[in-house]
Structure formats: C-alpha cells, structure tokens
C-alpha cells in the first residue's frame, strides 16, 4: 500500500546544514545555512520548514550528520519547536546500501546516503562526487554496493590552506577561473584548484573504470558541484539534493521491509 510521506530532511555537513521537505513524492525548498550563521536564522529555517509538514500525516524528521556540535545545536532547536519524531540515520534508521569496506571503518553517513540515492535512481555502476569542505569520489558497483573511494580537500579548503601557509598568497573566494593560465596570483590559485579537482575526479574515475571493466556514470553533489562540474562532459548529473534523496530512500526501504 502506498503511504504519503511528509518528511523534514536535515543534512548536517562540515560547514553547512541543508534543510528541505519531502511531500507529494518530491523534495521541496532545499536550502543551506552556514554553521556560523546566527542561531535565530537556523531557528527560523527549521521552523518554517517543519511548518510545511507538521499538520500532515506520517510526519517524520530525518537527521544526518557528520558534525557532532552542529547536530547538537540542530537537535536543541528541533526540540524547541516540538518537531518529532526525530530519526537519526545510521543510529535509528540504516542507510539501505551494501558495503564492502575494511572492518571497523567509520564512514560518513552522507557518503552512504549519496551512494544509496544515486544507485536507486541509476541502477548501474556509478561514481558519486561530493564537492564541499572535503571532496569525496566514491565508487558504487553494479549491484549497488558501496566500496568507498577517495577523500581530498575541497576547493575552499585548498584556497584557505594556501593563504594560511604561504605569506604572499592572498585570501581568494572560490569561483571558476577566467582561463586555465592564471595571469595573476589569485587566478593562478583558482586555476590550480579548479582544474586540479577536475583532474583528480577524472583520474579516479578512470581508475575505477579499470577496476569495474566498464565506464561508470558520474554524479556530483555538494555546495561547489555546480561551479566545478557544470558543462563538464565527465559529469552526467549534478544533483544538489542527492543526500536528501538518500534519506527518503532509507525511509522507503524500511517501510518495504516492515511490510
């Protein structure tokens, strides 16, 4: 029997929290807020988002986090607005994805959710790139098993590190460089970061393809995905709400199991 789900979805990353709702079988109003933002802005965003589903049936608050301090702050706000029930991914609800990892490996819930969502929609071998504070390039095989992948510094992290550790390198905001050859210091830094990340993703994808014996579909998400990969032929799909879609898949998988 089909159940009309009404979900508040909260994805807490390293530096930002993404919030959206799921109703009428689709994601609505995904929005991100920096952890450094005033708490009243977080309170307002969560209250407005919860109001979209609070008066409906089958309401659930889904929470995924890779930042324990931010998770605590978000949970306090949710309790203050009486948003419930709160279900934490991988604590209260498993992510429905197979795993081939070393024993005792601690893996970010967001990586598992991204893999689950990507495979649920593609049904084939894929590479999932999450471009945020860190950049992850993960491999999911044709059976939907998550194998892990590679983790590196994200674009903003690279730029901040250069500025902090090299006296003559300026503070630079991340954007696409004007051209590959940087004719000034800022543009040279941007070129290295932009094309360096693209090169890393391409090389890893090619290595994964050799392992798989076939070229995988590449899916990207994360705050910098659009800047990095828009109009880049390697990346076939850019899905900003991929992690949120993974949360929905987790609920649907559990409901199917319970039936």
The catalytic residues are 110
The half-sphere exposure of 250 on its side-chain side, counting CA atoms within 13 A, is 29
Maximum C-alpha span of the chain: 64
CA dist 203 and 153 (Å) reads: 16
Q: Which two tokens stand for residue 213?
A: 């014996």
- Whether residue 12 contacts residue 66, with contact meaning beta carbons closer than 8 Å, is answered with yes
Distance CA 55, CA 57 (A): 7
- What's the length of the chain? 259
Nearest Cα to 109, choosing from 167, 42, 62, 156? Answer: 62
The answer to whether 92 and 57 have CB atoms below 8 angstroms apart is no
- The span from the first CA to the last CA of the chain, in angstroms, equals 9
Residues 6+ apart with CB under 8 A from 209: 215, 216
Structure tokens at 68: 């324990």
């Amino acid at each position: 029997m089909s159940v009309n789900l009404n979900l508040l979805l909260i994805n807490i990353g390293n530096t930002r929290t993404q919030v959206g709702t799921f109703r009428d079988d689709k994601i609505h109003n995904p929005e991100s807020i920096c952890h450094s933002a005033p708490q009243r802005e977080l309170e307002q965003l969560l209250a407005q988002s919860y109001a979209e589903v609070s008066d409906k049936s089958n309401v659930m608050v889904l929470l995924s986090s890779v930042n324990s301090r931010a998770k605590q702050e978000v949970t306090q706000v949710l309790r203050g607005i009486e948003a419930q029930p709160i279900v934490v991914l991988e604590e209260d609800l498993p992510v429905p994805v197979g795993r081939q990892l070393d024993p005792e490996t601690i893996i970010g819930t967001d990586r598992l959710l991204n893999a689950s969502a990507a495979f649920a929609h593609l049904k084939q071998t894929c590479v999932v790139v999450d471009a945020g504070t860190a950049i992850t390039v993960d491999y999911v095989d044709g059976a939907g098993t998550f194998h892990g992948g590679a983790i590196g510094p994200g674009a903003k992290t690279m730029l901040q590190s250069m500025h902090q550790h090299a006296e003559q390198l300026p503070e630079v905001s991340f954007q696409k460089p004007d051209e590959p050859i940087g004719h000034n210091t800022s543009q040279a830094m941007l070129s290295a970061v932009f094309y360096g990340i693209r090169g890393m993703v391409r090389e890893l994808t090619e290595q994964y393809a050799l392992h798989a014996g076939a070229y995988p579909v590449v899916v990207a998400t994360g705050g910098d995905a659009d800047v990095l990969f828009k109009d880049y032929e390697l990346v076939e799909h850019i899905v900003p709400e991929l992690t949120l879609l993974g949360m929905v898949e987790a609920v649907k998988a559990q409901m199917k199991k319970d039936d």
